Amino acid sequence: MSHYCELSKLTKIYPTPKGPAVIVKDFDLNIENGEFVCLIGHSGCGKSTVLSMLAGLNAITDGGIILAGKELTGAGPDRGVVFQSPSLLPWLTAFENVMLGVNQVFYTASREERREIAEYFLTVVGLGDAMHKRPAELSQGMRQRVGIARAFALKPKMLLLDEPFGMLDSLTRYELQQVLIELWRKNKITALMVTHDVDEALFLSDRIVCMTDGPEAEVGDILEVKFPRPRERKAVMEHPDYYALREHLIEFLEVHAHRNGRSAAAPQLPPAGGVRLQRSPEEPVLNPA
Amino acid sequence: MAFLELNNVSKSFNGHAVLKDVNLSIEKGEFVAIVGFSGAGKTTLISLIAGLLRPDSGSMTLNDLEITAPGPDRGIVFQNYSLLPWLTVYENIYLAVDQVFPNWAPAKRQQHVEKYIAMVNLTPAREKRPSELSGGMRQRVSVARALAMDPQILLLDEPLSALDALTRATLQDEVSRIWEESHKTVVMITNDPDEGIYLADRIVPLTAGPGATLGPSFPVEIPRPRDRKAINHDPHFKQIRRDVTGFLLDCRRDRHAAVSRTLVLPDVEPEDLSAPPPLIGGRRTAIRRKEIKREIVEIDA
């Protein structure tokens, strides 16, 4: 019972006209203090549902979550969330966006100290010279840096990341992963991240939890990732276990893509090398030959 | 002399150097991928080759002729497709063919257009307008239009960047197949090293801007046709993936570490907002662990 974060028998059921839809069923996971865990699985398998229940943004149907000895009942600043889109207030500068939360959580600190906190995190994520710009003046990657700074600035007990780099190009994604992992290491914050990028999961995590396809998604497989820390992209990619683990994950995702027969229509082709599995109904195959 | 040759090409806008001393030689029939960060100047480079921009200094030749203006000898595929919205797939491609081959008999032009529509597997959608097509299909029209002009060189400016991962993979396969069939000289701009390695004969990284230039070439010696899954086992694939990514991330980091700044991180603990608000006379100061943290942080100059 001494785990830092415990998800036990977590279940999410949505009522539908056709009867209850079980999205997640009896999901059990324990996360230790300071650990970085990735949840990997196909789009729509329920991984974001798990994360949003942990964030307190989605009601829990059954089961429960304990974080640092307390049962979670709702959303709060003790869990920092980074979404796929940065969700910044467009009429505030990057600095003001971060200050919004800092002023709430550090209301007993001096004005000067609060300013220093926001400046510190914005500078560390690489926005030292751009922190007084509005989101519209920032690139997609820079906006997501603000999102990361905002989450870390509140010193949350836990960091929840929902495909935070999903809409960035691969080089920018590499850069932001480095920013994230360095902040995580310095601040020693327990993190749970949802992703479908195999390379991303391998680079960041201590453990990768593979989820089976929904409905009734559950933990399918847990992979320990033991690359030495602090991690550097090149060293990780050179590690003798890297491609074996990568293979294992891709295999898992492919097996579970086929299990429900959902991908029978479209070929499951990972993009060259970088495997981000994403199902898109958008592209009809006109002439498969 | 190489088929496409760029010698010390530089370009700046309003005094801001975008590209500096770019040198590139591409042989006939070669598929070269230029990989770089967003904003590094990749599109400027392709616009120069296309003749849409003129360099400030340096020279560019295609097939021994100086590049001075845009022309049908260079087919371009843009990231945003650039199709005429009021024309059908067929008409969009016909427009280009009509311009480039005005002396052909109408039947020959028609047949030519049909051939390229079939090449990109769009025959069932030939009468559709761009708004009725998915992003992937629009990009295929764009590729067909460029190829139908029978250019000497095909310039692809991040053609697949706006597409989702699965569509992107399908189109990569298609680009690869079309290239094998036509053996055109191709310069492709991309921000995805994996895409470059899968498709190209050679990867040329563009260093981080401002004043970006091309880095050393990384030849991709993986036999064709390439199998997306099998190349994951190829030691050469692993190595080039590491080298290209490493090169790009390093050159970006070198720029970042130009200036260092001292920052203070106050040692205060967050308040528990779920606890009941303090009564009169409650604690008004923050909890500290009495260790003011100072940190030296390197930032982007």
Q: Which phi-psi region, left, alpha or beta, contains residue A63 (left: φ > 0; alpha: ψ -120 to 50)? A: left
Quick one: which H or E segment has residue A6? Answer: strand A5-16
Do B262 and B292 form a contact (C-beta atoms < 8 A)? Answer: no
Nearest CB to A123 within list B197, B266, B297: B297
What is the identity of the amino acid at A150? R
Q: Going by C-beta distance under 8 Å and a sequence separation of 6 or more, which residues neighbour residue A284?
A: B134
% of chain A at pLDDT higher than 90 = 53
Alpha helices in A65-157 (DSSP H): 94-105, 111-124, 140-153
- Contact call for residues B286 and A108 (beta carbons, < 8 A): yes
Q: Can you give the pLDDT at residue B205?
A: 94
Nearest-angstrom CA–CA distance, A196 and A41 = 6
Measured between beta carbons, the chain B residues lying within 8 angstroms of A159 are none
Nearest to A211 by CA among A227, A225, A196: A196
Confidence of residue B300 (pLDDT cuts 50, 70, 90): low
A68 Cβ contact list (under 8 Å, min separation 6): A4, A5, A78, A157
Share of chain B above pLDDT 70, in %: 94
Give the separation between CA A128 and CA A32, rounded to whole angstroms.
Answer: 33
Contact A177, A197 (CB under 8 A): no
Residue A167, pLDDT score: 83
For residue B301, the tally of other CB atoms under 10 A from its CB is 10
Nearest Cα residue in chain A from B284: A108
In the chain, the amino acid numbered A78 is: D
Q: pLDDT of B64-96, one tens digit each?
A: 999 999 999 999 999 888 999 999 999 999 999
Asked whether residue B227 carries a pLDDT value surpassing 70, the answer given is yes
Find residue B159's DSSP bridge partners: none
Name the band, by pLDDT with cuts 50, 70 and 90, for residue B53. Answer: very high
Give the tens place of pLDDT for each residue, B107-159. 999 999 999 999 888 999 999 999 999 888 999 999 999 999 999 999 999 88
Q: Does residue B210 have a cis bond before it (omega within 30 degrees)?
A: yes
Taking CB atoms and an 8 Å limit, are B134 and A274 in contact across chains? Answer: no
Chain B's closest residue to A288, CA to CA, is B121
CB of A260 closer than 8 Å to CB of A214: no
Assess whether pLDDT exceeds 70 at residue B278: no
Give A194's strand partners. Answer: A39, A162
Q: How buried is residue B25: exposed, middle or buried, by Cβ count under 10 Å (0-12/13-18/19+)?
A: middle
Nearest CB neighbour to A154, from listed B256, B263, B270: B270
C-beta of residue A145 within 8 angstroms of C-beta of residue A168? no
Orientation angle between helical segments A94-105 and A111-124, nearest 10 degrees: 130
Average pLDDT of chain B to the nearest whole number: 88
A137/A140 Cα distance (integer angstroms): 10
A233 lies within 8 A of chain B by CB = yes
What does the H/E/C string look like for B25-94? Answer: EECCCCEEEEECCCCCCHHHHHHHHHCCCCCCEEEEEECCEECCCCCCCEEEECCCCCCCCCCCHHHHHH
| Site of tokens 């006209």 | A17
CB A4 within 8 A of CB A67: yes
CB of A273 less than 8 A from some CB of B: yes
Q: Count Cβ atoms below 10 Å from residue A220 Cβ, excluding itself.
A: 18
pTM of the model: 0.80
Compute the average pLDDT of residues B14-19.
90
The pLDDT, as a whole number, for residue B252 is 78
Running DSSP on this structure, what letter comes out for residue A91? T
SS3 B210: coil
Q: What was the pLDDT predicted at B155?
A: 95
Among A114, A184, A176, which residue's Cα sits nearest to residue A146?
A176
CA separation for the pair A154, A145 (Å, rounded): 15
Predicted confidence at residue A266, as pLDDT, reads 39
DSSP letter at B230 equals G
Give the closest-approach CA distance of B48 to chain A in angstroms. 24
Beta bridge partner(s), residue B74: B153
Instruction: List chain A pLDDT tens, one digit each, 289 residues.
Output: 579 999 999 999 998 898 888 888 899 999 999 999 999 987 778 888 999 999 999 999 999 999 999 999 888 899 999 998 889 999 999 999 999 999 999 988 899 999 999 999 999 998 988 999 999 999 889 999 999 999 999 999 999 999 999 888 888 899 899 999 999 999 999 999 999 888 999 999 999 999 887 778 888 889 999 999 889 888 888 888 898 898 888 888 878 765 554 443 334 444 444 444 443 444 444 443 3
DSSP for residue A97: H
Q: Left, alpha or beta for B289 (phi > 0: left; psi -120 to 50: alpha)? A: alpha
Q: Do B169 and A286 touch (CB under 8 A)?
A: no
Distances (CA, A) of B115 to B91, B118, B125, B190: 14, 5, 14, 28
Cβ atoms A39, A211 nearer than 8 A? yes
CA-nearest residue to A244 within chain B is: B233
Work out the minimum CA distance from B102 to partner chain A, whole angstroms: 31
Tell how strand A19-31 and strand A5-16 pair up: antiparallel
Question: Using the beta-carbon criterion (under 8 Å), do A128 and B286 form an inter-chain contact?
Answer: no
Report the residue from A108, A120, A287 with minimal CB separation from B263.
A120
Q: What one-character DSSP code corresponds to residue B273?
A: T
Half-sphere exposure of B239 (CA within 13 A, CB side): 8
The percent of residues in chain A predicted with pLDDT above 70, rounded, is 88
Residue B21 to chain A, least CA–CA distance (Å): 23
Amino acid at the residue B244: V
Query: Strand pairing partners for A8?
Result: A64
Cis omega before residue A215 (within 30°)? yes
Task: For residue A177, give the DSSP letter.
Answer: H
From A113, A280, A286, residue closest to B166, measured CB to CB: A280
Q: Which residues are CB-contacts of B276 (< 8 A; sequence separation ≥ 6)?
A: none
